[in-house]
Amino acid sequence: MQLRRDVFQAIADPTRRAILVLVASQSMTAGAIAANFDTARPTVSRHLQILTECELLQQEQNGREIYYRLNPRKIKELADFIEPFRQLWDDRFNTLEAVMKQYKPKE
Amino acid sequence: MQQKTQVHAEAGKQDLVVIREFDLPLELLFKAYIEPDIVEQWMGTKVLKLENRKHGSYQFETTDPRGNTHRFNGVIHEFGENRKITRTFEMENTPFPVQLEFLEFEPLSNHTSKLKMHIVYKSVEDRDQMLRMPFSQGINMAHNRLQEIVNNLK
């Protein structure tokens, strides 16, 4: 079954956000990541799978081990997604400022 | 350089904060929110109703390039002159749930002021959908009208 893998759904989960924070500083194996959580190992594996499917994490083969690391491109995409919204308000507020600089009190 | 308008939206939360510093005295910033003809200029909407008082309400209308009209409305819960406006915001005839807005105005100096707009949505999904919506037509249209007004001012 093909599930929808939306980045925003992926980061809506607190454990998955914690995983992202964890691997932000260094690449880690699934075992090392799981050691940081009380949740069962298969649950952590499932979270890793979801994060990998939506490309927030990348897998790296190092000898026999698979390491997980952040995908900077995808993280940047996430950071940029609010930019059009910001731009919209910035434009509105720039107009507000321009209009009020011309403001003459009514007689 | 720090951006004049900042948006803070933490992942997995159902609210966001927009902060903007204005090169305007507090009174002029506040006036831009309460005088209908000024609201029309910068929001690019027609103001059908704007009652600046506790339990008052407002209704705005925009017209898209195809001539369809879109209305927005809300109720004012708190109104503090030059200080704050707490209100709801709802887009009529859309599936989007109503949102709650806390607007706080504060002076920075005699000539500058700051607005903090805290918006609370019904769910995380609703917030993220609204954040991604600025591409949509209705708002692009409003945006174009704003551009015209600014160009006319130059």
Higher per-residue confidence, A43 vs A80:
A43
Q: What is the predicted pLDDT for the residue at B143?
A: 45
Asked if A52 contacts A58 with a C-beta cutoff of 8 angstroms, the reply is: yes
> Tens digits of per-residue pLDDT, B25-78?
999 999 999 999 999 999 989 999 999 999 999 999 998 778 889 999 999 999
Give the 3-state DSSP-derived string for B53-122, with helices as H, strands as E and coil as C: CCCCEEEEEEECCCCCEEEEEEEEEEEECCCEEEEEEEECCCCCCCEEEEEEEEECCCCCEEEEEEEECC
Contact state of B28 with A103 under an 8 Å Cβ cutoff: yes
Architecture of domain A7-101: Orthogonal Bundle (1.10)
> Which of A25-29, B34-38, B109-113, B135-139 is the least confident region?
B135-139
> Tens digits of per-residue pLDDT, A40-66?
999 999 999 999 998 889 999 999 999
> Tens digits of per-residue pLDDT, B85-112?
999 999 999 889 999 999 999 999 999 9
Sheet holding B5-8, edge to edge: B5-8, B15-22, B113-120, B99-107, B84-91, B69-80, B57-63, B46-50
Domains within chain B, CATH numbers bracketed: 5-153 (3.30.530.20)
Higher per-residue confidence, A6 vs A53:
A53
Terminal CA-CA length for chain B: 25
Q: Which residues of B touch A94 (CB under 8 A)?
A: 4, 150
Contact state of A85 with B32 under an 8 Å Cβ cutoff: no
Cα dihedral B112, B100, B85, B13 sign: negative
Q: What does the block give as tokens for B14?
A: 């159902």
- How far is the C-alpha of B83 from the C-alpha of B85, rounded, in Å? 7
Higher per-residue confidence, A44 vs A5:
A44
The complex scores an ipTM of 0.82
Q: Which residues of A touch B18 (CB under 8 A)?
A: 86, 89
Give percent above pLDDT 90 in chain A.
46
- How far is the C-alpha of A26 from the C-alpha of B110, rounded, in Å? 49
Distance from CA of A76 to the nearest CA of B (A): 13
